């Protein structure tokens, strides 16, 4: 047994010696980032209604009536059923002070998320929702239907940026880069998000001949990668 133990120990020591003789890997590690500007082609709006009454049932019935009118308005404007979703529903007591006297009201609320696939109809649709009784327009998000395509473009540009940065660093040392040894996409909480929620300032009645009151603008899709290249 002692003989075999000696052989094993010699083998381990020999392996360590070989590992120590192996030269360290020379790499240059960089992060590449990119941003693709996109013109949105659709919008997601959140519209809601709130009704107050001294009776819970009265408040709920009033809110339901307005919600039905909002749904009818959406359908009349050509919005598909799959693009309409109820996202919030609430009925809660709400104390209100009237002349220093506490009165308990009930607040009935409902919110709908609506995808508008034709931005040219967005303002007309918002007007119709307000006229139907919607008294809460909480947010708007501009999106693109080709998000995956732009994500792929952003990744490709990020990789190119990483290669250019690595080569510039290596050449500053009088060297160059070889093959990539490792590539990793850097997680980003904002990655792929075309835009954030924004409050909507909307006039219920626009003056005749007035211009549009909403501007989709451009949004950015970003990507970031970490790449290690051989340093030669």
90 forms beta bridges with 109
pLDDT at 15: 54
CATH topology assigned to domain 23-40+145-202+218-232: Translation Initiation Factor IF3 (3.30.110)
Within a 10 A sphere around the Cβ of 97, how many other Cβ atoms? 8
Helix residue ranges, H only, 91-138: 122-131
Kindly tell me the burial class for residue 167, based on how many C-beta atoms sit within 10 Å of its own C-beta (0-12, 13-18, 19 or more). Answer: middle
Superfamily of domain 42-143: Protein of unknown function (DUF541), domain 2 (3.30.70.2970)
User: Which residue ranges in the chain fall short of pLDDT 70?
Assistant: 1-24, 188-211
pLDDT at 173: 92
pLDDT at 211: 66
pLDDT at 12: 46
Give the C-alpha separation, 66 to 51, whole Å.
9
pLDDT digits (tens, 9 = 90+) for 76-100: 999 999 999 999 999 999 998 888 8
pLDDT at 97: 86
Domain ranges of the chain: 23-40+145-202+218-232, 42-143
């Amino acid at each position: 047994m002692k003989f075999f133990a000696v052989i094993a120990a010699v083998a381990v020591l020999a392996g360590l010696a070989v590992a120590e003789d192996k030269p360290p890997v020379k790499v240059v590690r960089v992060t590449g980032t990119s941003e693709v500007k996109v013109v949105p082609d659709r919008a997601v709006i959140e519209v809601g209604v709130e009704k107050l009454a001294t009776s819970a049932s009265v408040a709920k019935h009033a809110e339901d009536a307005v919600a039905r009118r909002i749904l009818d308005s959406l359908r009349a404007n050509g919005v598909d059923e799959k693009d309409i979703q109820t996202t919030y529903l609430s009925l809660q007591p709400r104390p209100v002070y009237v002349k220093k006297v506490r009165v308990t009201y009930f607040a009935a609320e409902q919110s709908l998320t609506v995808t508008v696939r034709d931005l040219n109809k967005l303002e007309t649709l918002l007007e119709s929702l307000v006229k139907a009784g919607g008294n809460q327009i909480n947010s708007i998000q501009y999106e693109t239907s080709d998000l995956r395509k732009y994500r792929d473009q952003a990744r490709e540009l990020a990789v190119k940026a990483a290669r250019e940065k690595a080569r510039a660093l290596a050449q500053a040392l009088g060297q160059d880069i070889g093959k990539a040894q490792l590539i990793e996409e850097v997680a980003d909480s904002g990655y792929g998000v075309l835009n954030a929620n924004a409050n909507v300032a909307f006039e219920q009645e626009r003056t005749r001949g007035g211009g549009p009151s909403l501007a989709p603008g451009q949004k950015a899709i970003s990507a970031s990668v970490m790449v290690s290249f051989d340093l030669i």
